[in-house]
Amino acid sequence: MNSADLPSRKGARIYCIGIKGTGMSALAELLQHAGFRVSGSDREEVFYTDDILRALGIPYFESFDPLHLPEDAELVVYSAAYSPHSNPELAEAQRRGLPLLKYTDALGAYSAGFDASGIAGVHGKTTTTAMAGTLIRGAGLPAQILAGSAVGAFGGRSTLTLGNTYFVAETCEYRRHFLAFHPRRIVLTSVEPDHQDYYPSYESIRDAFLEYGRKLPPSGQLIYCADDPGASEVAKILEQEAEGTERHFIPYGFNASGPFRIQSYRVAHEQAQMFLAGFKEPLSLRIPGRHSALNAAGALALTDALVKAEDPRGWQQVQWEGARRSLAAFSGSKRRMEILGERGGILFMDDYGHHPTAVRSTLAGLKDFYPQRRLVVSFMSHTYSRTASLLDDFASCFEKADITVLHKIYPSARETSSFGISGETLFARTKAHQDGVYYVAEPLDARSLLRSLLRPGDLFITMGAGDNWKLGQALFTETPEGSP
């Protein structure tokens, strides 16, 4: 297909195929802000981005038809979910010889016009990006931020526009999509086995992150989590390769050296407080878990780098106080320990965590934050390949849960094999580790079971990248205000 760059002419027409996707709608908003005329198309299914696109005045069709393609289109941006073989609009664009860019390539092209920072990692990148945007706004920096999920602090959107100097974006490792990005800085949260359909071994995914790190300019900065073995290994290799350059390597975390070492972390009254080595005042967090503290430290390290890029004198007191206040008010992002509400004394939450490391750390954080509540978990594993490869890790990652309800595996369209594994396989293996484990294949069929198990004072959370979030929504809606 014809690859391209963004049009140089402001006012040029850009057409987005798959415009309702979280990333695509966010990019459409940024392109509109940059002065392009943006329109697009997607399926009829309602997404939360429908309201955002309508509020922005970005027109779109809810079907795919070659006639939708504007005559004056100068660029077509398309979701990786589509190809000319499956999408008639993309086939028409190819027939007309229009310049085409996949979403990740368009994001990369957009980043080339800024002092850009990419946030990457197997897990933690969405929350770290959201926290970075929150701190950057508090510090008053002229930046644009793009996160991989809607963020309450961004007005329920995935983007935050504060100026045109810096660009901070969540960048994805799947199929090496992040290699299209042009980073001056990278925040690396974690590197471990994942996406086994594309990265069959730890070494293969590690090497992808190394390739991304090598995109940094000689004076670039790699900000990495010293508590994560994979991120630390990537940083060590890149640092050895960068000997003799001005590239900076900045660790953060409980095991880090330097100003972003977390010296202390404590939880009281459903709030966390942590002290960093290089800062006198503590930082407060409303969201649970030591992993959230790590994300906050990484976000602060990036913000610190931008503050110093803007003014070598560093933080002004008003900036620091603004950043601290903003972080203290941060309430997370959509599907990241998202609180649905409390009914009948039961606190309902939803979380996207679908890797055993993320599940384990999230549940541990919830137990610390809510020690008086029983923890009841609904989990739907995502992809056969991931479940098969990490089966033992998955089976042991629910140890902090008092009750665990497992479901069938949520498949991926990109998989052609079940690897001889099913939801029942994970259920049998998990039962060997703990009591209180149940299996209901279809999430919504678990409503009657959970109504019999839940009681006032519980915390019920749906976890995974599947569609069991619908179970949490249904139970929350069906639970009377006064009783479970």
Q: What residues contact residue 379 under an 8 Å CB cut-off, 6+ apart?
A: 359, 398, 404, 405, 406, 407, 462, 463, 464, 468
Instruction: Give the model confidence (pLDDT) of 440-465 as tens digits.
Output: 999 999 999 999 999 999 999 998 87
> Which amino acid does the sequence have at 122?
V
Give, for 14, the enclosing helix (H) or strand (E).
Answer: strand 13-17
Mean pLDDT, rounded, for 465-477: 89
Domain spans, the chain: 13-103, 114-329, 338-478
pLDDT, position 466: 82
pLDDT, position 1: 45
- Annotate 210-232 with DSSP letters as a single string: HHHHTTS-TT-EEEEETT-HHHH
How is residue 58 written in tokens? 């970005």
pLDDT, position 416: 65
Instruction: Give the model confidence (pLDDT) of 48-76 as tens digits.
Output: 889 999 999 999 999 999 999 999 999 99
Mean pLDDT, rounded, for 255-262: 97
pLDDT, position 432: 86
Instruction: Give the model confidence (pLDDT) of 223-239 as tens digits.
Output: 999 999 999 999 999 99
CA dihedral 190, 363, 136, 156 (to 10 degrees): 120
Name residue, tokens 């963020």.
151
pLDDT, position 186: 98
Mean pLDDT, rounded, for 278-298: 91
Give, for 13, the enclosing helix (H) or strand (E).
Answer: strand 13-17
pLDDT, position 484: 47
Distance, in Å, from the CA atom of 319 to the CA atom of 333, rounded to the nearest integer, reads: 23
CATH no. for 114-329: 3.40.1190.10
Provide the CATH topology of domain 13-103. Answer: Rossmann fold (3.40.50)
Lowest mean pLDDT among 79-83, 167-171, 436-440: 79-83
First-to-final CA distance of the chain: 55
For residue 396, pLDDT over 70 is answered with yes
Q: How far is CA 119 from the centre of its chain?
A: 9
Considering the four listed CATH numbers 1.20.200.10, 3.30.930.10, 3.90.190.20, 3.40.50.300, the one that applies to the domain covering 338-478 is 3.90.190.20
Q: What percent of the chain has pLDDT over 70?
A: 96
Q: Are strands 346-351 and 459-463 parallel, antiparallel or unpaired?
A: parallel
What's the pTM? 0.79
Q: What residues contact residue 371 under an 8 Å CB cut-off, 6+ apart?
A: none
338-478 matches 13-103 in CATH topology? no
Whether 190 and 121 have beta carbons less than 8 Å apart is answered as yes
What's the DSSP call for residue 333?
B
CA dihedral 84, 88, 94, 97 (to 10 degrees): 180
pLDDT, position 33: 94
pLDDT, position 218: 94
> Which amino acid does the sequence have at 19?
I
Distance, in Å, from the CA atom of 1 to the CA atom of 166, rounded to the nearest integer, reads: 31
For residue 202, pLDDT over 50 is answered with yes
Mean residue pLDDT across the chain? 91
pLDDT, position 4: 65
Longest dimension (CA), the chain: 66
> 283 - beta bridge partners?
274
